[in-house]
Amino acid sequence: MTNYNRISSIDIMRGLTLVLMLFVNDLNMNVAPAWLGHRPADFDGMGLADWVFPGFLFIVGMAIPFAFSKRFSSGQSLYDISRHIVTRSLSLIIIGVLMLNTGRVNPELTGISKNLWAILMYLGVFLFWNDYPDKENKFFTIIALKFTGLAIFVFLIFKFRSGQFENNGSLVTSWWGILGLIGWGYLVSAFTYVLCRDSILKTSLFALFFLVMNMLSDWKLLGFLDPIKPVFGIIIDGNVPFIVLSGLIGGLIIKKIPVIDFKKVISIFTGLGVLYIISGFILRKWFIISKIQATPSWGMICNGISFIIFILLYWIADVRNKINWASFLQPAGENSLTTYIAPDILYYLIWSSGFPLLIYKQSHEPLIVIAGSIIWALLMVGLTSLLVRLKIKLKI
């Protein structure tokens, strides 16, 4: 049996969702089968890509009880833990907003091409948030590198022009970007854990609250909150916090029940998975299944799928102790932010060069397009492994 304090399936599922994220983000959906991609906003249904991100949000929630239990047991104060939550959340939100605006750069007004602006932005991210080794002996060097990253951000933000009416052509927050959504979900769920600790009941009440918020938001009944929606819209909409909190409930169950009682865990997770999926289809009567609209039915079904996929991985990795098969996922599972961001730098470098390196994207054969994106995703995990060996890895 696996050590109770280390749940291998959490790292494996985190790595799996990231690899799938790289895969679906790379696909040429003009050629690949529609069921692999995102479905349109008004389409009542979902494809593989519509589960991948909520699957990652779910595992973000699952990891929270284990990470914060270590912090509390090591004697960290409530102030230190709260500061960590706010700092980490803000970091994700800032990076998310910067990434979101890369596509809005107007080269003529900004004086910098979109590709160069993005490359410099990612360089700043790695300079500022890199997990530098030997911090004590290289303190001043690290401070200089971080200030260089900060200076790059100031320069890029000052130079940025979109040429669009929105926000007078400056940066916009819009939907906050993928990392921004994670940041908001983490902020709510981490503070929920600080408040409720290991209480499944209290945490479930918070999850229910945000599910209701999601429903009310979809019914357009929260108009009185419009003045604060530009900042707190993700929290008000409820969908992202609900998904992360559902994962947090799963993490609490795993934390409370030792692996030796795996049959009980499997029964609970399977039951919850089925319950969530059935509830999602019941909610379909009022809300279509739509990722783009972030509907309650979609969130419920995605959570149900996540519960079932996780318990399968739990049975394989933690009950049967079969983990070697997932070794290729380890770099992604342990360095999720690096794995997600590093490939973008390659994209922009390739686009800047004008060299048609990603030739599989030009194929009209679905199998070639799919195979190319699978290889790309696996190579990007290998890139993460290489960067980690070179002491380049993001940590916030």
pTM for this model (two decimals): 0.94
Asked if the model's pLDDT at residue 358 lies above 70, the reply is yes
The residue among 161, 184, 286 whose CA lies nearest residue 239 is 184
Give the confidence band of 5 by pLDDT, cuts at 50, 70, 90: low
Contact indicator for 179, 251 with CB cutoff of 8 Å: no
Tally of structural domains, the chain: 1
Give the confidence band of 2 by pLDDT, cuts at 50, 70, 90: very low
Predicted local distance difference test score (pLDDT) of residue 117: 97
- 272 lies in a domain? yes
- 173 lies in a domain? yes
Mean pLDDT of the chain: 94
Contact indicator for 297, 283 with CB cutoff of 8 Å: yes
Q: Which residues lie across from 394 on neighbouring strands?
A: 130
The pLDDT tens digits of the residues spanning 261-288 come to 999 999 999 999 999 999 999 999 999 9
CA 51 to chain centre: 12
Query: Three-state DSSP class for 78?
Result: helix
Phi, psi torsion values for 130, nearest 5 degrees = -65, 145
- 167 lies in a domain? yes
Predicted local distance difference test score (pLDDT) of residue 246: 98
- 1 lies in a domain? no
- 199 lies in a domain? yes
Range of the domain at 94: 8-389
Instruction: Report the percent of the chain where pLDDT is more than 70.
Output: 98
The pLDDT tens digits of the residues spanning 123-182 come to 999 999 999 998 888 999 999 999 999 999 999 999 999 999 888 899 999 999 999 999
CA 359 to chain centre: 28
- 394 lies in a domain? no
Provide the residue type at 83 as one letter.
R
- 395 lies in a domain? no
The pLDDT tens digits of the residues spanning 27-76 come to 999 999 999 999 999 999 999 999 999 999 999 999 999 999 999 999 99
Predicted local distance difference test score (pLDDT) of residue 287: 96
- 209 lies in a domain? yes
